[in-house]
Chains A and B, each alone.
Chain A
C-alpha cells in the first residue's frame, strides 16, 4: 500500500468513526438513514474534488463500525435501540436502574470489540469458505426465511396476568401474540407496497425503505420515551468489569455465530441472529447476554458490509452495502485487506470513544430529562426523512410508525416489524411475490 492510500484509509476511517460516534449518540438515528445524506454530499463534492476511493470506502466502513459500537450508549441509557440492539435493552435497562448502565455499556462494547477481532481473524478464511457456502445455501434461502418467520412467531410466549375470568386471562395472554401476528402481516403489506410500487421520487429511490425503518423502529421508541420518560438513578463508574475471560470467550463465540447468520442471510438482522444464537447456545447469564449481543451487533453490521469486499463472493448484504455498491464495487484482494485494516482502526477507535462517551452520558442522563432529548431527536429524524424522501417519505414514516407502535403498546416483539422485508422477499423467492403484488393491485 502506498503512503497516500494508507493516509486515505487512516483519515477516512478515523473521520467516519468520529462522525458515526457522534451521530450514534442521537437516540433512534440509524447510520443507514444518514449514510444516504453522506453519499449525496460525497457525490456533490466529487464533482469538483477528486476523492480517493480508499478514503471513501474507509469512511463508509468507519461509519458502520462506529455506529455499531456506539449505538449501545443510547440503547442502554436512553432506551432507544435499533432493530439489531433490541435485545440489549431489557437487561441493559435493568443494569441502568441499578446504577450500572456504564458497566452494561462497556460489557456490550467489549463484546463488540471481540466481534471486530473475530472478523479480523476470520478474514483470511472468508474468501475460501464463503463462495462455496453461498452456492450451497442459494437454493435454500426461501425455506430458511420461512423457518425464521415461523420461529419468530412461535417462539413468542403469551404474556399477561393471572387475574380475572378465564376469558379475560385468555385474551390478556393471547393479546400480545395476536398483536405480534398483526404487526408481521401489516409490515409485510407495507413491504409489498414499498417494493412493488414505491411512492418515493425515483431520484431518491436508493433510500426507498429508509422512511419505513424510521417509522417502524425509531419513532415508536421516541414516542415511548416521550410518553414515559423517567430520570435514571445515580450511575456508578467501576474500574473493572463484572466478567471473566471464559465468559467473554463464550459470549463472543455465541454472538459471532448469531452475527454471522444475520450478516450472511438476507433480511435477517442482528437481533434475529442474536435470538437464534441465544436459543442455540442456551445462554442465561445476563453478562453473557450483553457481551454476545454486542458481538452479534458488530459482526452483523460490519460483517454484512465486509461481505461486499470478499473477493469472489459477490454478495451484497445490509443497507450500507446496497447503497455503496451503486458508487463503488471492490474487486481485488487489495481492496479487501484495505477494508480489514480500516475495520481494525475504526474498531479500536470506536471502543475508546465508547468509554469516553459512556462516561459523558452518565453525567448527561443524571442531569438532562431525556424526554427533551427525545423530542429534539424526533425533530431531527423527521427532518432527515423529509430532506431525503420528501412528503411521500413522511407518509410512509407515519404509517410505519403506526405499525411500529403496535408491539410497543401490545407488548409483542418489535422484531415482527421485519416482516416489511422478510415477507415480500420470502414470497419472491418462493416465486409468488408478483402474484401477491398483482392481487394487491400493485402491478398490472
Chain B
C-alpha cells in the first residue's frame, strides 16, 4: 500500500482520493478538509482577482516608444510605439471578385515610415486595411506625414536578411500630423525641389497613353502647362478617367524633374485627382507647345544612312539605337513614342546586316543621328557577310530595297502632343557606352564576346557567357548575397523585368559609395551574363563597370578636416584622420569615438562587426584614419565606415 499524506485520503474509507471532493470509491464527501476547499476557492479568487489586476495593469501600461534600429529578433511580437515620417505613399491591395477584378474592399495596406534610426514597413490586413481605406481622408497616411503608430513587431530572417514589419492591430492606433501640401501655381511647380508634395489646379488639355510607361496628362491654367504623370496601375483606378480631358481638376502630386530638367508632377494615388468642372474655354485657348523632339521630327530634313549594324541598343524603356560599325556613320535613333510599327527594330534587322535607315536628321554631341519613325524607313540592303552573334533574335521578315519614307508618312499623328518626359536628342542618356564600341573589329567580324543591350528583359539564356551592358534602377539597397560576404548583390530593374548584378565585395569596399546607393538609383552595368540557381545574373569584373547615372550618386568630399564637416555634408563620403579623444560604448557592442585632428571633433561610429576585425579595439589617444559616410543622428554629425578596411590605425601599413 502506498504511503499517502492524510489530506489526500477519504475521511470515510481512508482510500486515496487526491483532490476529489467526493470519494470515487465510497462516494463520501471530502469537502470538509480545509486545505483542498481553501485551495479551490483561492484558485477562483486568484484567477478572477488576478485577471482584474492584470487587466488594469495592461490598460494603464504605456506602450513603449522604440527606435527602429533597436529592434531585434527577441522583440518579435512586441507591441511598440514608433514615431516618424511616412516616406512613401501607401500601397493598397484590394480583394478581387470572381472575375479577378479589384473590388473597393482593401485587403492589404502598407507604407514605410522612418524615424531617426531607420525605416520600417507598416502593414494592415483585412478589416484594419479596409478601415484605413474607407476613411482614407482621415486615416490613410500620406508621403511626408508625421506619424505616431502603435503596432506589433514581426521579424523574419531569410537568407541572412532580416525583414522587420509593424502590424497594425487597429486603425485607431495611428495618429497623423498631416503635412498638408501647399497649393501652387503651375508655373511655380517647376521651381520646387524634387519630392515636394504639392496641390495644383488646372485644366487637362491633353492625355497621352504610351504603350509602356506612365500616362501623361497636360495641365494648363491659361498661361502655363505642366505635365502630370501617372503609372497605368494608378491611372486605371481614377474614377471617370475618360472625362479628365477637357475638365478642370485639382490634384495632389509629387514634383519631379525628369532628367533633372523637365518639371512634372507624379500622381501617386488615384484618389488624388478630382474633377472640378468642365472647362472647354481653357481647352480652346490652349496652343500646344511642340516639344523639341517634335520640332526635330517635323521640321528637320529627311536623311538616309547606310552601314553594317554593329549592335541594337535599348535606350532604357524609351526606344532603341542602331549602331553602325563605321564610327563616322550616324546613329539611328528610334523612340517608342513615335515608332509607328508593331515590330521592334531587332525583329527587322540583325547584327552584321547592311542596312539603310531613312528618317529625320538630328544631332547629339556633335554626332549625327537619324530619327527613324517607322519600319518603312529601315531597309536591309544585302545578306550579311558574316554570321551574327546569335544574341539577337532572327528577323521575322526582311524588307528589301524599300523606298525611303515620304515626309507625310513620318509626320506625327495629328493632335498627338509628345509628352514632356519623352527624351529628345538633347536629353538622351550618356551614349558613352556605345562610343566605346567604336574601336571594335571591322564590320565583317563583329565582336562576339560583347554586345550591348539596354532593356533587362532582352537578356535571355542566349547571352550566357557573354558580356552585356544594361541600364536599370536599383530595386533596393545593395546587400551581401546570402551568407557569402564575398559577394555583393544589386538588383536592377526596369519597367519589365529585373536582374541581379553580383560583384565581389572587395570591389565595393574600394568605393564605399556603392554600398550606400539608394533604392531607385539609376545604374549602368557592364558584365558577363551567368546563370546562378537557374536565374540569370550579370557579373561585372570590377567596380568601374558600374556607372551611377543621374541622381543617387554620393558626393566624395575626399580628405577633409574633422572640424570642417557641417550638416550640409550629410550623406557625403569623407576621409578623415585624427586622434581619438574619447570612446563610448553604444548599442550592441558598437563604439562611438570622438575624433579630432585639431580643427574640431567629429563623432565616428564603429559597429561591432567593423571594429572587431581591427588589429585592436580603438582607445583614446590612438590616431585613426576613417573613410565613411556622414550621417546626421539626432543633430549630431557622425562618420560611419561600413567596412573594417576603411578604418586604419596610424601605425598600420608602415
Give me the interface of A with B, judged by CB distance under 8 Å.
Answer: 39-40, 43, 47, 53, 97, 160-163, 172, 186, 189-190, 193, 196-199, 201-206, 208, 223-224, 227-233, 322-323, 325-329, 331, 371, 392, 395-396, 398-399, 401-403, 405-406, 408-411, 431, 434, 437-438, 440-444
Contacts and interface: CB of A to CB of B under 8 A. Distances in A.
A186 B40 contact: no
Nearest to A232: B2
A161 B51 contact: no
A320 B218 CA distance: 57
A198 B44 CA distance: 23
A405 B128 CA distance: 37
B46 A227 contact: no
A392 B126 CA distance: 32
Given A398-B50, A399-B51, A206 B76 contact: yes
Contacts of A202: 64, 66, 75, 78-80, 153
A405 B45 CA distance: 11
A199 B61 contact: yes
Looking at A205, A325, A443, which has the most chain B CB atoms within 10 Å of its CB?
Answer: A205
B520 interface: no
Interface string B46-71: 11111101110111010110100000
B150 to A, nearest CB: 8
Given A325-B157, A395-B57, A434 B8 contact: no
Contact of A399 (B3, B54, B173, B483): B54
Interface stretch (B17-25, B299-307, B567-575): B17-25
Contact of B170 (A327, A331, A434, A441): A434
A387 to B, nearest CB: 13
Looking at A160, A223, A230, A440, which has the most chain B CB atoms within 10 Å of its CB?
Answer: A230
B169 A437 contact: yes
B136 interface: no
Contacts of A405: 39-40, 42-43, 46-47
A160 B126 CA distance: 46
Contacts of B78: 198, 202-203, 205, 208
B540 to A, nearest CB: 26
Contacts, number: 189
B22 A189 contact: no
Contacts of A39: 73-74
A339 B553 CA distance: 45
A403 B27 contact: no
Interface of B: 2-5, 7-8, 16, 18-22, 27, 29, 35-36, 39-40, 42-51, 53-55, 57-59, 61, 63-64, 66, 72-80, 126-128, 153, 155-159, 169-170, 172-173, 483, 589, 608
A186 B51 contact: yes
B22 A409 contact: no
B172 A441 contact: no
Nearest to B153: A205
Contacts of B19: 224, 227-228, 408-409, 411
A107 B205 CA distance: 83
Nearest to A388: B74
A204 B57 CA distance: 18
B558 to A, nearest CB: 35
Contact of A206 (B16, B61, B64, B77): B77
A199 B59 CA distance: 10
A67 B66 CA distance: 36
Nearest to A50: B483
Contact of A198 (B3, B8, B79): B79
Nearest to B159: A331
Given A47-B608, A205-B153, A409 B59 contact: no
Given A208-B77, A326-B73, A409-B39, A443 B173 contact: yes
A406 B46 CA distance: 10
Contact of B75 (A205, A227, A325): A205
Contacts of A392: 57
Contacts of B589: 47
10 contacts: A193-B58, A228-B5, A229-B8, A326-B73, A331-B158, A399-B46, A402-B42, A403-B43, A409-B19, A444-B173
A161 B22 contact: yes
Contact of A227 (B39, B76, B153): B39
Contacts of A97: 2
Given A402-B43, A444-B172, A227 B51 contact: no
B57 A189 contact: no
Given A203-B74, A331-B158, 9 more contacts: A47-B589, A193-B54, A193-B58, A199-B58, A230-B4, A231-B3, A328-B157, A331-B159, A437-B170
Looking at B3, B20, B77, which has the most chain A CB atoms within 10 Å of its CB?
Answer: B77
A229 B18 CA distance: 9
Contacts of B40: 405, 409-410
Contacts of B5: 228-230, 371
Given A189-B51, A403-B51, A437-B169, A230 B8 contact: yes
Contacts of B4: 228, 230-231
A160 B45 CA distance: 23
A395 B128 CA distance: 31
A188 B18 CA distance: 28
Q: Is the interface of A mostly helix, strand, loop or mixed?
A: helix
Contacts of B47: 186, 399, 402-403, 405-406
B211 to A, nearest CB: 35
B57 A199 contact: yes
Contacts of B79: 196-198, 202, 205
Contacts of B172: 438, 443-444
Contacts of A223: 39
A47 B42 CA distance: 47
Looking at B43, B53, B72, B73, which has the most chain A CB atoms within 10 Å of its CB?
Answer: B43
A434 B128 contact: yes
B46 A398 contact: yes
Contacts of A172: 22
A411 B54 contact: no
Contacts of B51: 186, 189-190, 193, 399, 402-403
B62 to A, nearest CB: 10
A226 to B, nearest CB: 10
Contacts of B42: 402, 405
Closest 9 CB pairs of A and B: A402-B46, A205-B78, A405-B43, A399-B50, A402-B47, A202-B78, A409-B40, A228-B8, A329-B158
A438 B173 CA distance: 11
B55 A189 contact: yes
B73 A402 contact: no
A97 B483 CA distance: 55
B157 A327 contact: yes
B43 A409 contact: yes
Contacts of A326: 73-74, 76, 155-157
Nearest to B609: A47
Nearest to A206: B76
A227 B7 contact: yes
A238 B46 CA distance: 45
Contacts of B57: 199, 392, 395
Contacts of A406: 43-44, 47
A94 to B, nearest CB: 12
B75 A440 contact: no
Contacts of A229: 5, 8
A395 B74 contact: no
Contacts of A231: 2-4
A234 to B, nearest CB: 10
A167 B526 CA distance: 89
A442 B18 contact: no
A190 B80 CA distance: 20
A204 B77 contact: no
Nearest to B8: A228
B165 to A, nearest CB: 12
A327 to B, nearest CB: 5
Contact of A205 (B27, B53, B76, B159): B76
B75 A197 contact: no
A272 B47 CA distance: 23
